[in-house]
């Protein structure tokens, strides 16, 4: 008899739904992809409907529903925090309480009401509703889909109920908690505090801070370590909360931190200065040091060969790359949906392996995430039907003709929207909903940032490289299918800087070609690598093979198919709208190819740009 488990995350960040059927990960998606509201935290009704439709079932066929958090424990933490800091934080208390008293405190009732409405069921007809702890869901999302039978698990995020850092031992189908660091001492919130201070949006701008870091110098490291964080040799830490407002206030940092760094936080959208670049480099260096020390301690304490990671900090691919190169583990595995969205999947797997005590089967080689291609796929008929309805001209080509044609288009420095197969689960585009280009072009980074993505020019792009060729181009000897590891470009592919170029600082170094693939080579010769595998994404692998046969280069630029402030596209309608809003040259959706120059005149509506911050 089939057992079906629906996992949910909602009401805080990035709501999502995930469906596990007899222990197999069947479907998963974030609500933002359907609602088109970035980081949508509302009940994930569209994501739930997708998961059920993918399985061809209704809610009444589900055996267990599980939520990724324990709201009463989180409420306890909020109350205790406000009491501990009283009378500070009264304004924050007044702002938070109505939301809690209306929705979050009685979340079980809220969830049952939402599920009943969605499934057109009476509450007594609903599946069993369970709750996991926040970090338990993170740990489960990291360990259970991993290739390993036994591994240490490290979870690092802003905060769950209480935990901000937790360590677990995964063995077979069991996850055993070891120890944790609790709120308000949080590496994730420390990083977010500097995201806020440098003028980016918390919970979405952390990627920018990481991307900005290589343009700066680590001149503030000692200041951070002397004043803000008491870092022990084993990686445990405490923050000096007198510098931060997030426990009690409506902002992340306070005036004391402003004085420490000689000025207030940068205003969003204002010009970036060398100061922000140096701060970004400094907090990145501190974060890497904390994570490296923690990984060494965990290895020493648990004596295992492998490490699994989840939580928002696990998306810091620079730190992950250092753990892999300098840490004590044979290998590491990071959940591609490491943030709160992945908690829905972790919670569902917790039911199967922990609550129902079902075993795992692993081989130490392959994970069970299916390349993280867990979202909806569209057929050629569905795509052409939509395009016909709007009178958009297109041609249809089978792969044998399409792939070499696309390779030639990319070779001529054209930018292509690529919509193929199932949508990715998690924050990265992995070759399902991607914008692709030629990494050999020295102007491609600027073109794609300013004319396609409408974002800051310094933002780096990632290379998608055939897995079998990765070691020929980058200093890494293993797969990185989820774009969560940074590694240096091979030295024989680099272009040395001239004496005058070496004297440049900050953003002035951006437009200097650093390698044979300058569009994906950061100023420090690093790249955020995605390996493309024939077994998980054969079409994207085939396209890169054709590009390689024409150019000798088995690498493409891969960036997410979206523009500023929008989630990654989910449907053909989303893709066409994004295509027409930007200066993309071609759009391919499955076997259907559209050329920009053949499309009907499109009235450019730029008002949407004003609604969002760059991201």
Using one digit for the tens of pLDDT, what is the confidence trace for 71-102?
Answer: 656 655 565 555 555 555 555 655 665 665 55
Q: Which of 285, 190, 314, 178 is nearest to 241 (CA)?
A: 190
Q: What is the pLDDT of residues 363-389, one digit of tens each?
A: 888 999 999 999 999 999 999 999 999
The H-or-E segment that residue 153 falls in is: strand 150-156
Residue 375 near residue 422 (C-beta atoms within 8 A) = yes
CA distance 318 to 341: 21
pLDDT for residue 13: 83
pLDDT for residue 80: 55
Confidence class for position 613, pLDDT limits 50, 70, 90: very low
Alpha carbon 354 to its chain's center: 26
Confidence class for position 108, pLDDT limits 50, 70, 90: confident
Looking at the DSSP bridge assignments, the partners of residue 308 are: 153, 333
Residue 216 near residue 206 (C-beta atoms within 8 A) = no
The H-or-E segment that residue 35 falls in is: helix 32-35
CA distance 458 to 151: 37
pLDDT for residue 559: 94
pLDDT for residue 94: 59
Structure tokens of 129? 């509703």
Q: Answer whether residue 104 shows pLDDT above 80.
A: no
CA distance 111 to 119: 12
- For 253-282, letters b (16+ CB in 10 Å) and e give bbeebeebbeeebbeeeeebeebbbbbbbb
Query: How long a stretch of residues is the chain?
Result: 615
Q: To which residue do tokens 């890497």 refer?
A: 288
Which spans in 303-369 are helix H?
Answer: 317-326, 340-350
Structure tokens of 152? 């240490």
CA distance 537 to 59: 30
Structure tokens of 348? 């569902």
Torsion of CA 176, 179, 184, 187, to 10 degrees: -90
CA distance 28 to 9: 11
Q: What is the pLDDT of residues 144-169, one digit of tens each?
A: 999 999 999 999 998 887 889 999 99
- For 221-242, letters b (16+ CB in 10 Å) and e give beebbeebbebeeebbbebebe
Q: What is the pLDDT of residues 3-28, one digit of tens each?
A: 999 999 998 889 999 999 999 999 99
CA distance 476 to 368: 22
Residues 6+ apart with CB under 8 A from 475: 487, 488, 489, 490, 491
Q: Beta 526-532 vs 485-488: how paired, if at all?
A: antiparallel
pLDDT for residue 378: 98
Q: Which of 158, 203, 202, 206 is nearest to 183 (CA)?
A: 158
CA distance 603 to 563: 17
pLDDT for residue 264: 94
Confidence class for position 29, pLDDT limits 50, 70, 90: very high
Q: What is the pLDDT of residues 302-336, one digit of tens each?
A: 999 999 999 999 999 999 999 999 999 999 999 99
Q: Work out the average pLDDT over 495-502.
A: 74
Q: What percent of the chain shows pLDDT beyond 70?
A: 89
Q: To which residue do tokens 């390993």 refer?
A: 148
Looking at per-residue confidence, does 582 or 204 come out higher? Answer: 582
Q: Is 587 exposed, middle or buried (0-12, 13-18, 19+ CB in 10 A)?
A: buried
Count Cβ atoms below 10 Å from residue 531 Cβ, excluding itself.
Answer: 23
Q: What is the pLDDT of residues 231-272, one digit of tens each?
A: 999 999 999 999 998 877 778 898 999 999 999 999 998 989
Q: What is the pLDDT of residues 503-536, one digit of tens each?
A: 666 666 666 777 999 999 988 899 999 999 999 9
C-alpha pair distances (Å), 386 with each of 47, 391, 568, 578, 588: 22, 9, 19, 15, 14
Q: Work out the average pLDDT over 417-440.
A: 97
Structure tokens of 41? 């935290």
Q: Answer whether residue 605 shows pLDDT above 80.
A: no
Strand order in the sheet with 174-182: 174-182, 163-171, 150-156, 306-310, 331-334
Q: Answer whether residue 273 shows pLDDT above 60.
A: yes
Residue 241 near residue 184 (C-beta atoms within 8 A) = yes
Residue 67 near residue 132 (C-beta atoms within 8 A) = yes
Alpha carbon 610 to its chain's center: 24
Taking 3-state DSSP, the helix, strand and coil percentages for the chain, each rounded to the nearest 5, stand at 40, 20, 40
Q: Answer whether residue 603 shows pLDDT above 80.
A: no
SS3 call for 187:
helix
Confidence class for position 607, pLDDT limits 50, 70, 90: very low
Q: Work out the average pLDDT over 275-304.
A: 97
DSSP 267: P
CA distance 139 to 444: 38
Q: Which domains does the chain have, with CATH numbers?
A: 4-133+346-370 (3.30.420.40), 181-334 (3.30.420.40), 380-611 (3.90.870.20)
CA distance 462 to 528: 5
SS3 letters for 515-546? Answer: ECCHHHCCCCCEEEEEEECCCCCHHHHHHHHH
pLDDT for residue 581: 93
pLDDT for residue 93: 57
Residues 6+ apart with CB under 8 A from 310: 138, 139, 141, 142, 153, 155, 334, 335, 338, 342, 346
Residues 6+ apart with CB under 8 A from 222: none
CA distance 396 to 419: 14
**Mean pLDDT score of the chain, rounded to an integer?**
90
CA distance 613 to 615: 6
Q: What percent of the chain shows pLDDT beyond 90?
A: 76
Query: Rounded to a whole number, what is the distance in angstroms from the first to the last CA of the chain?
Result: 45
Q: Where is average pLDDT lowest: 271-285, 292-306, 423-437, 594-608?
A: 594-608
DSSP 253: B
Q: To which residue do tokens 């919130």 refer?
A: 189
Q: Work out the average pLDDT over 483-510.
A: 80
Residue 525 near residue 489 (C-beta atoms within 8 A) = yes
């Amino acid at each position: 008899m089939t057992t079906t488990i629906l996992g949910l995350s909602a009401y805080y960040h990035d709501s999502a739904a995930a469906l596990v059927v007899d222990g197999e990960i069947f479907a998963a998606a974030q609500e933002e992809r359907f609602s088109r509201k970035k980081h949508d935290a509302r009940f994930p009704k569209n994501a739930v409907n997708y998961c059920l439709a993918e399985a061809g079932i209704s809610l009444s066929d589900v055996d267990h529903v599980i939520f990724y958090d324990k709201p009463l424990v989180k409420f306890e933490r909020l109350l205790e925090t406000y009491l501990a800091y009283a009378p500070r934080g009264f304004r924050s208390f007044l702002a938070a309480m109505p939301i809690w008293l209306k929705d979050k405190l009685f979340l079980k009732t809220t969830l049952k009401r939402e599920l009943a409405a969605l499934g057109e069921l009476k509450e007594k007809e609903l599946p069993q509703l369970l709750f996991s702890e926040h970090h338990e869901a993170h740990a489960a999302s990291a360990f259970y889909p991993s290739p390993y039978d036994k591994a240490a698990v490290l979870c690092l995020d802003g905060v769950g109920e209480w935990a901000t850092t937790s360590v677990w031992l995964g063995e077979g189908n069991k996850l055993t908690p070891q120890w944790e660091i609790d709120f308000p001492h949080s590496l994730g919130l420390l990083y977010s505090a500097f995201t806020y201070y440098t003028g980016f949006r918390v919970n979405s701008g952390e990627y920018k801070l990481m991307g900005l870091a290589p343009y700066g110098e680590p001149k503030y490291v000692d200041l951070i370590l002397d004043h803000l964080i008491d870092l022990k040799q084993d990686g445990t830490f405490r923050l000096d909360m007198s510098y931060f407002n997030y426990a009690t206030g409506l902002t992340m940092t306070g005036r004391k931190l402003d004085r420490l760094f000689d000025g207030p936080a940068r205003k969003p959208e204002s010009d970036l200065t060398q100061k922000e670049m140096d701060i970004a480099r400094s907090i990145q260096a501190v974060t890497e040091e904390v994570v490296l020390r923690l990984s060494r301690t965990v290895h020493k304490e648990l004596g295992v060969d492998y490490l699994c990671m989840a939580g928002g900090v696990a998306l810091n691919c620079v730190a992950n790359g250092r753990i892999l190169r300098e840490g004590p583990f044979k290998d590491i595995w990071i959940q591609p949906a490491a943030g709160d969205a992945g908690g829905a999947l972790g919670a569902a797997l917790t039911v199967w392996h922990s609550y129902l005590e079902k075993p795992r089967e692993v081989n130490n080689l392959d994970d069970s995430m299916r390349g993280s291609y867990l979202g909806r796929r569209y057929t050629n008929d569905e795509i052409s039907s939509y395009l016909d309805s709007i009178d958009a001209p297109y041609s249809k080509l089978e792969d044998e003709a399409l792939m070499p044609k696309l390779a030639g288009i990319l070779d001529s420095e054209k930018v292509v929207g690529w919509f193929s197969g199932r949508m990715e689960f998690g924050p990265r585009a992995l070759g399902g909903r991607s914008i692709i280009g030629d990494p050999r072009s020295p102007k491609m980074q600027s073109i794609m940032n300013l004319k396609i993505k409408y974002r800051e020019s310094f933002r780096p792009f990632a290379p998608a490289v055939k897995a079998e060729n990765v070691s020929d181009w980058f200093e890494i000897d293993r797969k990185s299918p989820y774009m969560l590891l940074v590694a240096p470009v091979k030295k024989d592919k680099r272009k040395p800087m001239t004496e005058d170029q070496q004297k440049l600082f900050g953003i002035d170094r951006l437009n200097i070609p650093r390698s044979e693939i300058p569009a994906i080579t950061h100023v420090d010769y690093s790249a955020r690598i995605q390996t493309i595998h024939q077994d998980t994404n054969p079409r994207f692998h085939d396209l890169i093979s054709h590009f390689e046969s024409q150019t000798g280069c088995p690498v493409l630029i891969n960036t997410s198919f979206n523009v500023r402030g929008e989630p990654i596209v989910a449907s053909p309608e989303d893709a066409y709208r994004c295509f027409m809003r930007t200066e993309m040259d071609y759009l391919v959706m499955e076997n259907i190819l559209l050329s920009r120059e053949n499309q009907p005149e499109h009235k450019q509506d730029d008002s949407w740009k004003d609604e969002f911050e760059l991201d």
